[in-house]
Structure 1
């Protein structure tokens, strides 16, 4: 199912009118060889006084919205039409020198990978290190098999528990509690592979079931934004690993933002000001459906339309 329609609606509600500060929106999928953005709209209500686009240090598309009016409701409605040709695990081709672990990244790659190898969380008792090393064999270990087993072990041994509250558990908390959300699992795996010397990055995007209607009913983490991991493997570059669903490769995964740390890839962030206790709720709804190859690019009234990509 290479053509998809994606709807992502986030709505904030308040008890009385509040003012809105600058908001940063990261909902536009990235262009790559396996996903091509064909059309995109972003409708914001109330309409911002200014909406500008930029690319951050990782090449993610970011919209910056500023407002000049108060309201009791703020909504972001993103509609995407894209072509998705996911990479399968059998297409992962690792250079000979890196097919077995341990290995060392080449001198050409290492300067650009160093910050993605650095640990982000303290591990004074080396708990993450010890857990990561359970996937090593005596002598040399097959690199892809190591990463695959770590991915599927999290899927198999941990309990997925949705959590609407902001924030992420530390990797040690996730390891000790044996439960968490997709973002918790992603951060645990990132720290674990970094403990072994791999370069890894956090990915925010969407998940769907390619074997079904296009909706995410057959996978865990659908109906909302999703998080997973990218690991750099010489010969194939950045390869996707989703420990929530045990997915290796980009099948069923639509990338939006890539970052070194989770806090650099928040889908929507911003501020508001008003009476204390004004905030009521935040609601997020994500739907991914199969689509025809041709769509009507006409935008409804009040929509900020982007040109087809």
Structure 2
């Protein structure tokens, strides 16, 4: 599938301010299943862009500003071709056919940041929730993951929160509601509690329905490491394995690590500000 994305974030202040270097996660993650055919930044005020890789090997841009301005505008426009039409096109290693399984020693070491379980108190709450709601657990690994993903999707009510940050997983369970990033963090922590390596993913989803959770916004989901298959995306917000409608940008063990735009502004006095954004994901025919 060929997709075109336009992502604009605009900050407005009531006077000119100075800006720290801004870290930007907006460029999609190239792979054998995703080709970035075009990418362009349009940033005002003028900035110097330095491309680097972070500790998760995500591609990120540092924007260095020299001018003061009352407006900061960051627009990313790109075209991609996604090829993951069948997310179940893999063969698990025999020891991972059924769950629970134990990762090989080398895999377990390399996966340490993604397999480390939550704090004991959080684990206890998650285990109690699983014992109450996830009773008839499939024995085979793939049906197990499908059932867990479906459970989270069907149990929670989606709410496009506009508050900053991510809810703790226990808060999401207590409220029974959350945004896509809250669903993703809950699913990641449930997987780690069960002994599965999992990580948070930020990106875009093509879903033209105005009622979609991803319509006009970035999207978040999870990836689980399966021996023989590698990292496989699961989206608990929509209750599905990730296919060619998904455009991953960045992944991390800690969700806040890959907030799309990270930076500060400076002023000798308090300055009121406004934030506006626009995200359009279109299919190219």
Contact 1:121–1:171 under 8 Å retained in 2: no
Give the SS at the match of 1:109.
helix
What residue is the counterpart of 2:260 in the other structure? 267
C-alpha spacing 1:279/1:120, structure 2 compared with 1 (3 Å)? farther
Q: Does residue 28 of the first structure (1) align with residue 27 of the second (2)?
A: yes
5 Å-filtered alignment, 1:91-130, equals: 91-121=89-119, 123=121, 126-130=124-128
Distance 1:235 1:282 in 2: 44
- Shift of residue 252 of structure 1? 1.6
Give the SS at the match of 2:42.
strand
5 Å-filtered alignment, 1:293-304, equals: none
Distance 2:96 2:157 in 1: 32
C-alpha spacing 1:112/1:151, structure 2 compared with 1 (3 Å)? same
- Shift of residue 87 of structure 1? 4.2
Contact 2:118–2:192 under 8 Å retained in 1: no
C-alpha spacing 1:25/1:181, structure 2 compared with 1 (3 Å)? same
Structure 2: segments with no counterpart, 5+ residues:
none
What residue is the counterpart of 2:36 in the other structure? 37
Distance 1:264 1:185 in 2: 17
Give the SS at the match of 1:281.
strand
What residue is the counterpart of 2:238 in the other structure? 245
What residue is the counterpart of 2:200 in the other structure? 202
Give the SS at the match of 1:4.
strand
- Shift of residue 276 of structure 1? 4.8
State the TM-score, normalized to the length of structure 1: 0.86
Distance 1:137 1:156 in 2: 16
Contact 1:123–1:172 under 8 Å retained in 2: no
Contact 1:208–1:219 under 8 Å retained in 2: no
Give the SS at the match of 1:141.
coil
- Shift of residue 164 of structure 1? 1.9
Q: Which runs of 4+ in 1 moved over 6 A?
A: none
Farther-moved stretch of structure 1 (75-84 vs 100-109) = 100-109
